[in-house]
Every structure is written in C-alpha cells, then in structure tokens.
Amino acid sequence: MPSELPATPVIAEVVDKYADDLVALRRDLHAHPELSWAEERTSEAVVTALEGAGWTVRRPEGGGVLAEIGHSGPLVALRADLDALPVDDLISDPWRSTNPGVAHACGHDVHTAGLVGAGLALAEVSARGMLPGRVRLLFQPAEEVMPGGALQLISAGALEGVSHVFGLHCDPSLDVGRLGLREGPLTGAADALTVRLIGKGGHTSRPHLTEDLTFALGKVITELPAILSRRLDPRAGVSVVWGMVRAGSAHNVIPHGGVVAGTVRMLDAVAWADAEHLIRQLIAAIVAPYSVTAEVTYQRGVPPVVNHAESTRLLGTAVENVLGVHGHVSTAQSLGGEDFGWYLDSVPGAMARLGTRSPGGPTYDLHQGNLRVDEAATGIAARVLAEAAVTALSD
C-alpha cells in the first residue's frame, strides 16, 4: 500500500463525521431531480454546503458551480455532474423522485453528494495547513445532452491553471468498495443523428405512383449500419443504434414524411473525425433510388474519455490510500458517451468507475428508472476524490 499522506486520516475523519449528512444530501437530490440546464435547486444546495465550509464559490453564467480553496501553489480540479434524466423513477424508497418524468437514473446525485463531501474534507485539510496547493471543484450542468455542459464550464475558465482534473462515474455492475480504472481510452465518442425523409405519399395499393417513403426509411435503418461496418476500420467499433422511428398513421397510407433518430458511437477518435462526412454521403446514396429528400441533422457530441497515464497513476494511488491495493480493478472501454472527454482534451486527467452494487445484490443498468445504488458509495466517492486532489498536489 502507498505511504499514507498526512491529510489521509483527516479526510477519512471528516467524511465519516458527515456520512449521514452526505447520504441525506444524496437522497434530497434524488427526490428533487432537475433536467439539463435547469439544475437551479441542485446548484443552490451545493453553494450552501460549500460556502459554509469556507470555499470561494461562484455561479458561472449558463449554469453550474465553481468553487476554489487554497491561496498558492499548483491547482487540481475535481468534477461532478448535476443533471438528471427524463425518465420515470421506478424505485419505491421515500426519496423517490417528486418530479414526474424526471429521475437520477445515471447516479449524478451520488457524484454531486460525493464531491460535496470531498469539498468538506478538503476544507478541513486546508484549515489545518495541510493542503499543498489549490483545489477547484467543478459542478457541471448538462452532462446528459450533447455536446455537454463541460464546454460551458471550460469557457467560464474552469480549467485555467489546472494541472490535473479527476472525476468518477457510477458503475452499477461493480461492487461498492471497488473502482474501475483504466489508462487510455475509457469511453467512446458519441454523436446524435436524425434523418428526416420527405416524399410523395399515396395509397399502399399504388406504391409505384409514390416515392414509398416508408420503404426508404427502412433502408436507412438497416443499410446505414451495415455499410458503415465496411467503410470504417472495424477496430474503431462504430455503432449506429436507432432509438426512435416515426412515420405514418394508417396501415394503408404511404406517408409523405418520416423520421428516424439515434446515436453514432465509436471507440476511435480518428474515425470520429471522419464519421459525419461519410454518414451524410451514405444516406444520400441509400435514398437516391427512391427519389425522396433526406434532411440529415448530425450533432457532434462528445469525444472519447482518454485517461492520461500520469493522472491515472495518481488516481490509482489515491484509491489505494482509501481502499487498499485491491480497491481498484481493471475496467474495459465502453461505447458510452461522457463529456468529461472535453476536459481531457485540454488538460491531463483521469476518470474512474465507482462501484455502486451491493455485494451479492442485483445488477442494475444506467439510464433506467429502477437504478438503485449502495449509498456507501457516496462516502467512498468523497474520500477518493479528496485523496486524489491531495495526492496530485503532493506528487
């Protein structure tokens, strides 16, 4: 196990002291979820907690919270996301969402409460003269919408002077008390794609007199993923998955309009740079035989999260100081999108996956209304994030 830093027992002491408060905060945030760019109540809860602990706090225009502590020396940033998802909360706990159709189904309530806990711990470390530099907390809006609220915080100066940035993301497939860590690519790039077709409709008994838009839409749905698999390097792991299809309202009417929408994901940043131009070309070629008009809306989303080697080492050391040498395990790259990648495009940093499954309990999935987390993960997140900041500043 790495040598314990002087601040390590202080961090543990403070997080233990506030353990019940952090769980209560997480439950309060879960009961009052807010969608992307509307995280007003959530942000005020963060401001109240941190200002009371001595942090210098500001609310950037556009949303989110930036907080800083320390007077001189190197600067490390810690990040959490604030927003919830437009899904129904299916849990039956007393802290079930009170906002119909909105739920913390991706664990951002845990991320936020965990970073508040790290802030409380670091405030005490600073008060005791044990903080070897400065720490900035990034409470970010709108992670769940493309291209993500990270760009807004970056434009507000969130990364100015920062040497490393660290973050955690809930992983319901990993037991609480474990963190998944990986040097290099952790997530994939993710874009949003909408294809709207317009053409001459008519009666299904006379498709030859129409432009049979529904048939053309079906071709886009099936052919685009197939052709992409032959036009882009298969090692890029390109995946086009449709989430919404809409056309027509009667079984015997060929409609004059239809739309299909989904995501384009890939593991490789080089393929991400080429994907939009190629996809627009392919859609035009697919629909050409049917004489329909295709309107393509392609929104570039987020780049892959690529963990920096030195930052990953520092984060691993922090995990070991908190949980021991078995506290982190290897984790695989996923196709999930995470706008933390924008931070890592600018400064070195690393993200780890935070185990939230109760040992022996069921495995849930993210972005589902039945997501449940082991609440011990909140305190673990607080300790690991605070430890990561002190570890990086002491390195």
Query: In the numeric block, which tokens belong to residue 286?
Result: 């697919």
Residues 6+ apart with CB under 8 A from 344: 165, 305, 306, 307, 308
Residues 6+ apart with CB under 8 A from 99: 32, 33, 34, 84
Sign, CA torsion 10/12/15/17: negative
| Residue 103: DSSP 8-state | B
As to burial, measured by CB atoms within 10 angstroms (0-12 exposed, 13-18 middle, 19+ buried), residue 276 is: middle
Residues 377/106, Cβ–Cβ less than 8 Å = no
Cis geometry, peptide bond prior to residue 147 (ω within 30 degrees of 0) = yes
State the DSSP string of 20-44.
Answer: HHHHHHHHHHHHS---TT--HHHHH
- Annotated catalytic residue: which of 34, 143, 211, 338? 143
- Select from 165, 206, 85 the least CA-distant residue to 345: 165
- Annotated catalytic residue: which of 34, 83, 211, 374? 83
Query: In the numeric block, which tokens belong to residue 159?
Result: 């990364």
Residues 6+ apart with CB under 8 A from 109: 26, 29, 30, 33, 84
Q: Is 83 a catalytic residue?
A: yes
In this structure, which amino acid lies at residue 31? A
Q: Is 171 a catalytic residue?
A: no
The SS3 assignment for 52 reads coil
Residues 6+ apart with CB under 8 A from 171: 180, 331, 353, 354, 355, 356
Cα separation, 12 vs 26, in Å, equals 19
- Select from 339, 354, 260 the least CA-distant residue to 304: 339
Query: In the numeric block, which tokens belong to residue 327?
Result: 């506290």
The SS3 assignment for 51 reads helix
Residues with catalytic roles: 83, 143
